[in-house]
């Protein structure tokens, strides 16, 4: 068994795991009841699923130019997906889409009340 076969097997396993994580995230996106919990389900394919698929692709291609491009893509995704998640969570909270009875700790509503923000407006 040569190195190329081993790398091909690793790449195939990574591709399958990443595709399975995408499917799991999609199922969670449909099944979960709230915007914030859907956001929780959405981060699984965004980070781990994507990095599994990209490492599978890197193990299949096995060239340095491909590996650097894929590392750049993974780093970009790691830096940009928290920004989008933060914006969506903030907008969901301020639009009243969050059911506050389901929250264990809610520090944001106290801080917003102190700042004079009225949720009924």
Partner 1 sequence: MTIVALIALALLGAAALIVLLRLFRGPTNLDRIVASEILMVIVIAGVATESAWQRTATNLPLLLILGLVGFVGGVAVTRFMSRDADDLDVEQTPARPVHPTAPVDESTDPTRQSDDPTDDPTDEPTERKSHR
HEC string of the chain equals CCHHHHHHHHHHHHHHHHHHHHHHHHHHHHHCCCHHHHHHHHHHHHHHHHHHHHHHHHHHHCCHHHHHHHHHHHHHHHHHHHHHHHHHHHHHHHCCCCCHHHCCCCHHHHHHHHCCCCCCC
- Least distance to partner 1, CB of residue 105, Å: 21
Rule CB under 8 A: is residue 5 a binding residue for partner 1? no
Nearer to partner 1, 19 or 109 (CB): 19
Rule CB under 8 A: is residue 16 a binding residue for partner 1? yes
Q: Enumerate residues 69-108 that contact partner 1 by CB under 8 A.
A: 69-70, 72-73, 76-77, 80-81, 83-84, 87-88, 90-92, 94-97
How many residues in the chain?
A: 121
Binding residues vs partner 1 (CB under 8 A): 8, 11-12, 15-16, 18-20, 22-23, 25-27, 29-30, 35, 38-39, 42, 45-46, 49-50, 53-54, 56-57, 60-61, 63, 65-66, 69-70, 72-73, 76-77, 80-81, 83-84, 87-88, 90-92, 94-97, 112, 115-117, 121
């Amino acid at each position: 068994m040569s190195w190329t076969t081993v790398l091909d097997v690793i790449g195939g396993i990574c591709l399958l795991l990443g595709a399975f994580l995408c499917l799991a995230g999609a199922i969670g996106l449909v099944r979960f009841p709230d915007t914030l919990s859907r956001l929780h389900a959405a981060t699984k394919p965004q980070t781990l699923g994507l990095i599994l698929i990209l490492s599978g692709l890197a193990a299949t291609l096995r060239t340095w130019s491909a590996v650097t491009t894929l590392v750049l893509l993974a780093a970009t995704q790691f830096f940009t997906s928290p920004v989008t998640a933060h914006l969506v969570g903030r907008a969901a909270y301020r639009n009243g889409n969050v059911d506050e009875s389901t929250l264990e700790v809610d520090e944001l509503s106290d801080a917003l009340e102190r700042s004079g923000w009225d949720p009924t407006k």
